[in-house]
Structure 1
């Protein structure tokens, strides 16, 4: 029996995953020695019965005597050792009580550290009441618990420390622990699975253990208890929890100075005769974990690789060890110039080399190469390593939720330097985006699985996205077709972060460019929360804070944290803010106040980056000033580079759009017609509009679709103040006409003019100078908008001709002057 270790989302015994399969034990009435446990003979018999159950852990609420630890060792049982102290009282209000608590932690760990291999973990507390947490404040309670954990670590550095929380105080920050423990009593399977999925996400990179659950057979009956614990136990391990502890082993229970006789949560009765639930739990505990799938459809794992020789080998090694019965691996070499293909071939997987066309095209090639029998296609990046149960959890989630796709978290490797620490905590890294407890708004391409049927339904990945954004675009299209995107928190990959600042900035530039492409396809939905891998504002939590749901009178059963931060808090880090500040700084030569505004804007950018770096959670081993300074630089440069790339793509027409191949007359308000001649394939307007939109987007035009509430079918966003709506009309002769008109948004223009005028007046300009400045700005913006707008009709007509050719229909001819 070796000491357990916490690594990533799981507990390890050596190199193998270790699942805690436990029961709570006691406290009992004092035995003949005054100990709050049974006589040694009774305890030994109980431990033998636990072995029969398949348990490997006993959860205790008071420290055990040495003889009991030795009996557990003989039985091959580990212990989660609870350290009791008055956590039901306002302990932070009493310095004496705080000192006594510290002494209790210190003494318990000192007295038991010799049994290190048997003690799986110390629990430094259990369910501090939510009203007490509310009174002291979550931060103060978390700091004190962290202090207790540090006290224990100083005495026994190799021990694991946890704290058993419960839903009414879920918002406590427990990130300093070795693993998170939660006591959860939910009796509906849907609620139970959804809440544990939520907790898995909240736990981040730490393992999660269900430290208490059960049912009272006095009120619910033994049949109901057996049914409940059977599906609860299976569900916990299917979701990826690292442990499941039943409350309790026996109905015998003594607490508060009294024997408890009106509750009966035990798997065994007071005389230790097993209940029905004993066998139900034993069936899950005795099987392989996580539990085997009822059905395991064949899956294909696709690795899109471009010049990935340095990381591909480890990626394929991890895939080779997957705990899944039926899968194949395909590497798509996207025109690499290094030894990527050779590494894939040596690994014994199927390697397909294609011309370098980008990430989306490579993933499509992988889908096309998947065997006909494969029902699910999973994707992992070439610089990522899969957990052994990665594919299991993705497929299990898809099958159970009847979802089109599932995705899990990706974590950085353990950092070895200050720079690696900063890179792991940098803003804007790839991640899945949650839309609820167990749903996703965005998949993350480095860790996702999609049913082949769903991929075919939406047409696969869009090849327009060559470096990033294809996963987000696919997510939005799947969601628009009413498909479920499920969160699989147990499906973990370790994803390498960029090793240098320049590599990180290249990555952010690629993400920004992809966000610009997304704007072309979805110009009305792009906002701070809808960018690639959108998440909480990088510094919004600092300026906006977070709100805790306490419930009426602080009695909420499920009290969680809700972000109150705004994405606008990131404004000082964007290129627009930095650029405007620099312009004001230059104009300071002519107007001192403008110079002050510019200097203040730059200073605020630097302070915002510093605040983000100072608040970022970093590993305790690398929290020195070097990591923070590096992270400050990353926060200062990353968002600016990303937003610059986004804006460049967002408002830039591709070179091919400068007039195209159309040489006919061009009007700002015009139309084209698609003729439906005899014998031609009948094409409906929806098909034509979809094809027109795709053609426009590929020419660099931002095009919005209607959601049914707009008067248009498509709308081209020329500039913030200029729109071009397009409508399809069915003509009496069966032809389809596309009409468009130029439309301005004067309210936007007036708001922009007012803001500009206020800024100039605040800078000390006279009213005449301010109005003149507004006029000059309006002329400059107007000229740019007109330059863009005048090219739109020609682009529409070029695209219409292309669509007509691709659909096999003809363009209707109109006589001169006809409209």
Structure 2
């Protein structure tokens, strides 16, 4: 099951260690036990398949202590939206799960693997994402106990299904610094959910067996050290079957074609068994929780602080003039907590009082409606070791218990972090903010003018203006309970608007003339990074960039939690999404104004489409068109080449029997296209 940004098996949080298995020439072997015993001996706890798992495979996996993530076999490497939609995928799901969906060895399902980037562009990125989401939605309805995902890759980074249980990315980078840098990027792509590297390996035929072993070793260690939820070593054997033929021109296996171990097998075994990083010194933290009339909330928060891993921090509760017995509850139930009582003076004044009472090197703030993850301070501590002046992490909504909680968790206006790049934050919310005491007092702490909200924005801006920097710990998260009802949520949004009015007066240069905050970084709203609406995608020239992402200043919000994704909830969410920003704007600038609509590009109807079988492939055809004087399109254009006003998009379908078919879309005069037989396509 999913546990925040990790996986959990029973009561234990686990780092999933997988090895990919098959497809093999000649089909499944008669006996799996020999292979599975060797796989289990590496320390792997799961295998990843690309096919439907027969029951005898699952039985063998169970007897060897392995869990199975299986794939669905359907033609997702062709224009499936133009030829029957996802019906073949749904049939494959039925075949794969109707008999074995409740087998104890089956842990999850990948509904597809790497839909080719050129075909995604051809079919429409948002339509493809919605098709993948429809497959996942159908699977979750029938088999909700399984984990569901799409195995993505960097060329369609924008294609993350919003309703997947985790982000899975196949990554092949041959230099460790590049791999580590991309993992940091993927934490932001994943949003709130776990990140799995669903394939990582190196071809020993081209790179040598020793280099393959070295790469698998540092790759697995990097995945563990940088907080992914799991990694799949690719692949078990050099024997491999793809597109109707045995693959003989590359060798990614841990064992060779004769079944003999390669050095990579030992490297994976060693990396799987490696001890985790040393735990940083969490006793250097003073944790400050400010509260007013929070008797019903603060107990859960303080209980979670009792469950922190590592040495005990100093915990300080600042009671900001409560009249509901909050202070008495803290004194009675939590005698280890230091209680500071104040006359009601507002959130910023309470936080300053807590920092003044703190005795440790780092002051960490959370709210009384939050529950911290057991490794919260460990993750923040690892980040502080890199020299940051302040550090923050995500705040995740707990799984909703009712429809209102689900809708409000997905509504706009939740506390969000703003990232300048994959490491440095421009802003982190005050419910998950830690800062060195010397830094805190050097900039004067929080401004008491901000009594309920806006204080963290002002604090982060002043901190950065003083030349100090904020790091981000993607796995240092807290569970943040949202408002329990629509009216409470809307009152909160109005309060945020009033706080933003104060911010405008104090920091006028950080707001546009229309009253919108000007951020240098990207706002992350908790949802996985994915294409929506008229989003602009960086494809690279002729759609050939290896890493293709969405270009935006605000990433998508959280989708509705699975079992609450139904018409009534969608309608309420749509209503709140419309009214909340307008109420916030009214409180901020006195105008009932919504967000500006996205500025997308006009989608034109093509003048012609062609389909031809080819031998050379898409890139060969495009090169020949360039040789004939056609010009390449730009990195965000929806077409590949143009000449004299005629634009052309090219995609290539791949079929299971190894055949390929070129699809050509034309805007303008199709007679300008050459005869493809004459150019050898």
TM-score interval, normalised by the smaller of the two chains: 0.7 to 0.9
Q: Shift of residue 315 of structure 1?
A: 0.9
**Structure 1 counterpart of 2:649:** none
Equivalent residues of 2:184, 2:226 under 8 A apart: yes
Distance between the aligned counterparts of 2:129 and 2:242, measured in 1? 27
Q: Which has the higher helix share?
A: 1
> Secondary structure of 2:560's match?
coil
Q: Shift of residue 212 of structure 1?
A: 0.4
Equivalent residues of 1:516, 1:646 under 8 A apart: yes
- Say whether 1:52 aligns with 2:37: no
Q: Shift of residue 177 of structure 1?
A: 2.0
Alignment partner for residue 6 of structure 1, among 2, 10, 21?
A: 2
**Structure 2 counterpart of 1:22:** 18
Equivalent residues of 1:418, 1:626 under 8 A apart: no
Equivalent residues of 2:501, 2:588 under 8 A apart: yes
Q: Shift of residue 379 of structure 1?
A: 1.6
**Structure 2 counterpart of 1:671:** none
Give runs of aligned pairs for residues 513-552 of structure 1, distance below 5 A: 513-527=498-512, 528-530=516-518, 535=523, 545-552=534-541
For 1:204-242, what per-residue CA distance to the aligned partner results, in whole angstroms no more than 9, with x for missing partners? 333221100122234334454444334432332344322
Distance between the aligned counterparts of 1:544 and 1:140, measured in 2? 10
Give runs of aligned pairs for residues 597-636 of structure 1, distance below 5 A: 617-624=559-566, 626-628=568-570, 630-631=572-573, 634-635=576-577
Equivalent residues of 1:410, 1:493 under 8 A apart: yes
> Secondary structure of 1:311's match?
helix
**Structure 2 vs 1, CA of residues 628 and 286 (structure 1 numbering), >3 Å: closer, same or farther?**
same
**Structure 2 vs 1, CA of residues 150 and 525 (structure 1 numbering), >3 Å: closer, same or farther?**
closer
Distance between the aligned counterparts of 1:156 and 1:642, measured in 2? 40
**Structure 1 counterpart of 2:380:** 394
Equivalent residues of 1:25, 1:60 under 8 A apart: yes
**Structure 2 counterpart of 1:359:** 347
Alignment partner for residue 316 of structure 2, among 299, 321, 330?
A: 330
Distance between the aligned counterparts of 2:558 and 2:201, measured in 1? 38
Q: Shift of residue 551 of structure 1?
A: 1.3
**Structure 1 counterpart of 2:64:** 75
Distance between the aligned counterparts of 1:340 and 1:463, measured in 2? 22
> Secondary structure of 2:296's match?
coil
Distance between the aligned counterparts of 1:6 and 1:384, measured in 2? 19
Alignment partner for residue 397 of structure 2, among 412, 435, 441?
A: 412
Q: Shift of residue 376 of structure 1?
A: 2.8
Equivalent residues of 2:419, 2:522 under 8 A apart: no
Distance between the aligned counterparts of 2:217 and 2:312, measured in 1? 27
Distance between the aligned counterparts of 1:315 and 1:537, measured in 2? 23
Alignment partner for residue 484 of structure 1, among 469, 477, 488?
A: 469
Distance between the aligned counterparts of 1:9 and 1:235, measured in 2? 17
Distance between the aligned counterparts of 1:284 and 1:339, measured in 2? 52
For 1:103-151, what per-residue CA distance to the aligned partner results, in whole angstroms no more than 9, with x for missing partners? 2222122242252x21111111110100011101122222322333344
**Structure 2 vs 1, CA of residues 327 and 252 (structure 1 numbering), >3 Å: closer, same or farther?**
farther
Give runs of aligned pairs for residues 175-190 of structure 1, distance below 5 A: 175-190=162-177
**Structure 2 vs 1, CA of residues 403 and 230 (structure 1 numbering), >3 Å: closer, same or farther?**
farther
For 1:280-299, what per-residue CA distance to the aligned partner results, in whole angstroms no more than 9, with x for missing partners? 4444533566x444766722
**Structure 2 counterpart of 1:555:** 544
Equivalent residues of 1:358, 1:466 under 8 A apart: yes
TM superposition score normalised by structure 2: 0.77
**Structure 1 counterpart of 2:149:** 162
Which runs of no fewer than 5 residues in structure 2 stay unpaired?
591-681
Alignment partner for residue 366 of structure 2, among 377, 380, 385?
A: 380
**Structure 2 vs 1, CA of residues 274 and 391 (structure 1 numbering), >3 Å: closer, same or farther?**
farther
Give runs of aligned pairs for residues 88-107 of structure 1, distance below 5 A: 88-95=77-84, 99-107=87-95
Q: Shift of residue 554 of structure 1?
A: 1.2
Alignment partner for residue 235 of structure 1, among 222, 235, 242?
A: 222
Equivalent residues of 1:318, 1:388 under 8 A apart: yes
For 1:81-114, what per-residue CA distance to the aligned partner results, in whole angstroms no more than 9, with x for missing partners? 122222222222223x854443222212224225
For 1:678-734, what per-residue CA distance to the aligned partner results, in whole angstroms no more than 9, with x for missing partners? xxxxxxxxxxxxxxxxxxxxxxxxxxxxxxxxxxxxxxxxxxxxxxxxxxxxxxxxx
> Secondary structure of 1:133's match?
helix
For 1:300-342, what per-residue CA distance to the aligned partner results, in whole angstroms no more than 9, with x for missing partners? 2221222211111111111222233453322222232222223
Give runs of aligned pairs for residues 416-815 of structure 1, distance below 5 A: 416-527=401-512, 528-530=516-518, 535=523, 545-563=534-552, 617-624=559-566, 626-628=568-570, 630-631=572-573, 634-635=576-577, 637-647=579-589
Equivalent residues of 1:175, 1:203 under 8 A apart: no
Distance between the aligned counterparts of 2:153 and 2:124, measured in 1? 16
Which runs of no fewer than 5 residues in structure 1 stay unpaired?
567-611, 649-819
- Say whether 1:214 aligns with 2:201: yes
Distance between the aligned counterparts of 1:158 and 1:404, measured in 2? 42
Q: Shift of residue 486 of structure 1?
A: 2.4
**Structure 2 counterpart of 1:700:** none
Distance between the aligned counterparts of 2:241 and 2:525, measured in 1? 49
> Secondary structure of 1:315's match?
helix
Equivalent residues of 1:461, 1:474 under 8 A apart: yes
**Structure 2 vs 1, CA of residues 530 and 467 (structure 1 numbering), >3 Å: closer, same or farther?**
farther
Distance between the aligned counterparts of 1:226 and 1:93, measured in 2? 43
Q: Shift of residue 526 of structure 1?
A: 1.9
**Structure 1 counterpart of 2:98:** 110
**Structure 2 counterpart of 1:350:** 338
Give runs of aligned pairs for residues 190-209 of structure 1, distance below 5 A: 190-209=177-196
Aligned-residue RMSD, C-alpha: 3.3
**Structure 2 vs 1, CA of residues 188 and 458 (structure 1 numbering), >3 Å: closer, same or farther?**
farther
Distance between the aligned counterparts of 1:390 and 1:127, measured in 2? 34
TM superposition score normalised by structure 1: 0.65
**Structure 1 counterpart of 2:303:** 317
Equivalent residues of 2:406, 2:560 under 8 A apart: yes
Distance between the aligned counterparts of 1:341 and 1:274, measured in 2? 64
Q: Shift of residue 56 of structure 1?
A: 0.4
**Structure 2 vs 1, CA of residues 250 and 488 (structure 1 numbering), >3 Å: closer, same or farther?**
same
